[in-house]
């Protein structure tokens, strides 16, 4: 079962965020000295309280985190960004990841239809599976490259 996270899930969400950072292809994110659990806890709490949303599964094996923010250049434009999509490695060959993303997409589409946001942003990580979001009504608009 997929459900919205609550403040009581924050300790587990902190573990998920840290695991995500260590597995992220951007090496500097995996350095322990760059982690700030207090900051992340405050961010997660603000997202749960309305700055976005977090879906988790009943077994706390995965999560998807989304945040609502204004566009950097056009502050009247409201965007919903997928920040993190994580499934524990031993559950990645199942349906959990897809169910989490489906919850993100359904809520994001509802927000889009209500006018709460003007656009939804999701992404593909270079170390994750390829997902063709164009089959889900998303348009490819950019690619990111990192130099460390």
What is the pLDDT, as a whole number, of residue 128? 67
Residue 124: pLDDT over 90: no
1-32 per-position pLDDT tens digit:
999 999 999 999 999 999 999 998 889 988 99
Mean pLDDT of the chain: 93
The model's confidence at residue 56, banded by pLDDT at 50, 70 and 90, is: very high
DSSP string for residues in 62-120: EEEEEEEEE-SS-TT-EEEEEEEEEE-GGGTTSSHHHHHHHHHHHHHHHHHHHTS-SEE
What's the pLDDT at 114?
98
What is the per-residue pLDDT across 35-49, written as a single tens digit (0 to 9) for each? 999 999 999 999 999
């Amino acid at each position: 079962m997929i459900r919205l996270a609550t403040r009581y899930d924050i300790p587990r969400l902190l573990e998920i965020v840290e695991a995500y950072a260590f597995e992220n292809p951007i090496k500097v994110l995996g350095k322990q000295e760059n982690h700030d659990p207090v900051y992340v806890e405050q961010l997660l709490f603000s997202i749960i309280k309305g700055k976005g949303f977090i879906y988790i599964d009943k077994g706390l094996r995965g999560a998807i985190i989304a945040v609502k923010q204004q566009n950097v250049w056009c502050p009247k434009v409201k965007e919903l960004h997928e920040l993190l999509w994580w499934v524990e490695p031993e559950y990645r060959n199942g349906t959990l990841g897809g169910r989490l993303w489906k919850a993100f997409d359904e809520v994001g589409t509802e927000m889009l239809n209500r006018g709460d946001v003007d656009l939804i942003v999701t992404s593909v990580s270079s170390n994750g599976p390829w997902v063709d979001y164009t089959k889900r009504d998303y348009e490819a608009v950019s690619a990111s490259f990192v130099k460390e």
